[in-house]
Amino acid sequence: MKPNLRALSKTATNVLCPLFVIACLLPAIGCGDGGGDGAEDTGSILHASAVAADEGGRNVDTTPDDTDDDGLIDNFLTDTQVTITFTNTSVVPEQNTATTLRVESYTIDYSTTDPTAPPLSSRTFGANFIVEPDQTVERGDILLVSLATVDEYNAGVAGGAVPTDDPTEYTAHYTFHVENVPFGESQTVTANVAFSVGNFLPAN
Ligand SMILES: [Ca+2]
Ligand SMILES: [Ca+2]
């Protein structure tokens, strides 16, 4: 059964429009706490933050390894993922203004403070998960560095962009593209995650 979105939207509009009057007053007293652009239009503030890394930080391996010295590679490269929590809260906490949000995609821009390290291209990945009002969702499948980006790094180094420091420190700047489900409005939320790139050996 396909839900009647028009009816749903109309109902939500009827219920929530009075609350938006309150929500729209809020920026004057500073609701822009980095929860995401567009929050004032939807009644929801989405927070995104990376779960703390294990000791040793986030390491992205650039080179497959032969860990037992039998001449055969036994540690292959994989995409590196990061766990990020998303929390959907009301713009006006006392008024329960939050509505259902769907994270649809995310774009990662990479930066490094190492001027000789290879620049890494922005990448956009699809997503499709819901964060209900007052809910926190933990996603362990958010890409941090794909194999394509590792290839780009290796090609850059091979081409002469040799980092000063090994491993090389980068930061992933995330922009999550979010749709407010009942209203069809878009909003974004950002998060930053630091990581290291180098030839690492797998942890035992
Ligand atoms: Ca081996
Ligand atoms: Ca390695």
| Amino acid 37: pLDDT | 67
| Amino acid 142: pLDDT | 97
Q: Which residues, listed in sequence order, are joined to residue 157 by a DSSP beta bridge?
A: none
**What are the structural domains, with CATH classification, of the chain?**
5-198 (2.60.40.10)
Contact 163, 86 (CB under 8 A): no
pLDDT greater than 60 at residue 12:
no
The more confidently predicted of residues 11 and 49 is 49
Rounded to an integer, the average pLDDT of 82-104 is 92
pLDDT greater than 80 at residue 3:
no
| Residues 64, 29: Cα–Cα separation, whole Å | 53
Amino acid at 57: G
Instruction: Please tell me the number of the ligand nearest to residue 69's CA.
Output: 1
Token pair for residue 35? 């929860």
Q: For the chain, what is the mean pLDDT? A: 84
What is the distance in A from the centroid of ligand 1 to the CA of 92?
Answer: 57
DSSP string, 91-113: SSGGGT----EEEEEEEEEEEES
Between 28-32, 44-48, 92-96, 191-195, the lowest mean confidence (pLDDT) is in 28-32
| Amino acid 10: pLDDT | 46
Backbone angles phi, psi at 98, to 5 degrees: -65, 145
Contact 144, 80 (CB under 8 A): yes
Rounded to an integer, the average pLDDT of 39-56 is 82
Percent over 70 (pLDDT), the chain: 78
What is the distance in A from the centroid of ligand 2 to the CA of 61?
Answer: 5
Token pair for residue 41? 């239009």
Instruction: Please tell me the number of the ligand nearest to residue 59's CA.
Output: 2
| Amino acid 163: pLDDT | 96
Instruction: Please tell me the number of the ligand nearest to residue 74's CA.
Output: 1
Contact 201, 67 (CB under 8 A): yes
What is the distance in A from the centroid of ligand 2 to the CA of 3?
Answer: 49
pLDDT, one tens digit per residue, over 106-139 is: 999 999 999 999 999 999 999 999 999 999 999 9
| Amino acid 6: pLDDT | 47
Go through the chain and tell me how many residues it has: 204
Taking ligand 2, which is a single-atom ion, which protein residues have CB atoms under 5 Å away? 61, 63, 65, 199
Rounded to an integer, the average pLDDT of 149-169 is 97
pLDDT greater than 50 at residue 23:
no
Between 27-31, 39-43, 87-91, 108-112, the lowest mean confidence (pLDDT) is in 27-31
